[in-house]
Amino acid sequence: MTQNGPPDESPDRTYDRRTILTGAGSVALGGLIGSSGVASATPSREPGPKKDEIIVGIEPDADVAAEARAAVPGDAEVVHANETIRYAVVSFPSEAPDQAREEFIEAITRSPAVEYAEPNVTVQSLLSPDDPYYDYQYVPQQIGCERAWETTRGSSDVVISVIDQGIQYDHPALESVVDDRIGEDFADDDGDPYPTADENHGTHVGGIAAGGTDDGTGHAGISDCSLLSARALDETGQGALSDIVDAIQWSADVGADIVNLSLGVDGSYETMRSACEYAADRGVLLVAAAGNSGTDRVFSPASEDTVVAVSALEEDGSLASFSNTGPEIELAAPGSRLVSSVTGDGYARMSGTSMASPVVVGVAGLALSAYPDLTQSELRRHLRETAVDVGLGETEQGYGRVDAAAAVETDPFGDGETDGGDANEGSPGHCGDETITATVSGSLDGSGWWGESDRYGYALQTADPCSITVSLEGPAAGDFDLYVTTDGRSPSRWNHDESSTGSGTTESVTLSLEGGEDLGLQVHAKSGSGEYTLKLEERGR
């Protein structure tokens, strides 16, 4: 399955979409739950799927483990807790019938301290295996890496965390770029994120995002940024939701700039959403594979609005037959027959959205190396704006195929960027006649005791923004709150810059702007239900 020489020694076996309050670039509907630690797997817990466990979300300011134990009835046992993402894992007797599980979830959510309960589902790597031999790498050439490398091959100060099966950190092609901290193990309790001999996925994914370039060894990774190995999948390529969540939190806490998630699960889970929000709020760019079922449905975590969802392309630029699609797709990247490192000091070619995601991550690393002052939201926007339209639909390619040359050569700040000097001194807050209005409508059922939320993002449209007023109108029978952030991060009831939370259905927030902000908006229905309208009025100087 592998080769020990360079891949060229073996034969081949084998648009501008920016709109106001619409589309992946400006609006993403999402859910709720915001959450500060877990460093490794709980001792004695087996790696991989955990079918007889339920995750219980605990309200802020409560002791997670204590409240979970107090709420758990019968023979169930609290086996793991994360005080940062605010959840506990409850082990349920395997012999219990399905009806008993449903009754258990219903009973536990009656506790005032419990916000939700959901199964500890199995998350799996998103790989479509292919023959291992390939006589050349086409991806670096296709996405313009040679031109980008003339400016930067990637800075060791930019840290990429790969949440996967673990990276062979002493692989000849990778040892020069592995971070001195190496990583952490969330699948086992031995503290070493080194993969077993059959666990190739993480090493292959890591080698795509980063690998020694022009060093006379093996293949060329997209960047030479630093790699961290967060081992959260077992030898089958599967892992528990709780292990993935802990790895996301750890990556954010140790200062990763970019996180690759070449894994997914069909469905939406509050615990995953909470972890992604936690990382995004700390400036981490999250990138994930869309899924390999060939359906019009993006898997989680790629479907989260805090995550860049990546579809896979064939070498000719067409959509890979296995790639999932959907409105959440933000970028596309080559994902078919990519050559990279595998365990045992070898090399192989593999296909999947698992392979497309680290291509985007590597390009993001190059862009951040070239422009280290970019914030997470600015880096995300820059990747969108420099992507290449390959002629596919928006649900297939998003903003287009990622392009390393354009991402490195295009100044993300532009000619009109100022350093905050005296351009508007003497008239702070003075607004001119330029006005842009945008609206969006939605519907929420707040009948659950913890409520329900929708989230949106808004990129400013005026040339010199001055202020924005966000107004919410809902039905008389509803009870809605509005939360706003000014840097594009996902707001929540516990993490926001401005809010309007009166007991009614009409809320309004007005913000002064300096320019360059992206707004994050959340509508939360506390009780009642019905349709609402969100209106934004942006004014320029």
**DSSP summary character for residue 143:** T
Confidence of residue 480 (pLDDT cuts 50, 70, 90): confident
Rounded Cα distance between 22 and 394, Å, is 12
What average pLDDT does this structure show over 387-406? Answer: 94
Q: Which of 130, 164, 234, 246 is catalytic?
A: 164
What average pLDDT does this structure show over 14-24? Answer: 25
pLDDT at 451: 65
Instruction: Establish whether 303 is a catalytic residue.
Output: no
Task: Provide the pairing of β-strand 285-289 with 258-261.
Answer: parallel
Same fold, 53-119 and 435-540: no
* Partners of 331 in beta bridges: 310
Which position has the higher pLDDT, 432 or 319?
319
Q: Which of the following CATH numbers is that of domain 435-540: 3.30.1950.10, 1.20.140.160, 3.30.565.10, 2.60.120.380?
A: 2.60.120.380
Confidence of residue 22 (pLDDT cuts 50, 70, 90): very low
Which CATH superfamily groups domain 7-17+124-409? Peptidase S8/S53 domain (3.40.50.200)
pLDDT at 214: 58
Six-digit token pair at 320?
């890979």
DSSP3 helix / strand / coil % (the chain, rounded to 5): 20, 30, 50
- Domain chopping of the chain, boundaries: 7-17+124-409, 53-119, 435-540
* Partners of 518 in beta bridges: 459, 487
Least-confidence region, from 10-24, 88-102, 164-178, 468-482: 10-24
Rounded to a whole number of angstroms, the CA Rg of the chain reads 23
Q: Over the stretch 503-527, which tens digit does the pLDDT of each residue have?
A: 455 677 787 877 667 788 888 776 6
52: burial class by Cβ within 10 Å (0-12, 13-18, 19+)? middle
* Partners of 315 in beta bridges: none
pLDDT at 476: 64
Instruction: Establish whether 164 is a catalytic residue.
Output: yes
* Residue 30 scores a pLDDT above 60: no
Instruction: Establish whether 487 is a catalytic residue.
Output: no
Q: Which amino acid is residue 58, in one-letter code?
A: I
Percent of the chain with pLDDT over 70: 79
Percent of the chain with pLDDT over 90: 42
Class of domain 53-119: alpha beta
Q: Which of 201, 382, 496, 524 is catalytic?
A: 201
Q: Where are the alpha helices (DSSP H) in 109-170?
A: 139-142, 145-151
* Partners of 124 in beta bridges: 238, 264
User: What is the SS3 assignment for 473-484?
Assistant: ECCCCCEEEEEE
Which position has the higher pLDDT, 419 or 366?
366
Contacts of 170 (CB under 8 A, 6+ apart): none
Are the C-beta atoms of 278 and 85 separated by less than 8 Å?
Answer: yes
Are the C-beta atoms of 530 and 474 separated by less than 8 Å?
Answer: yes
329: burial class by Cβ within 10 Å (0-12, 13-18, 19+)? buried
pLDDT at 38: 39
Are the C-beta atoms of 143 and 334 separated by less than 8 Å?
Answer: yes
Q: Which of 354, 357, 453, 492 is catalytic?
A: 354
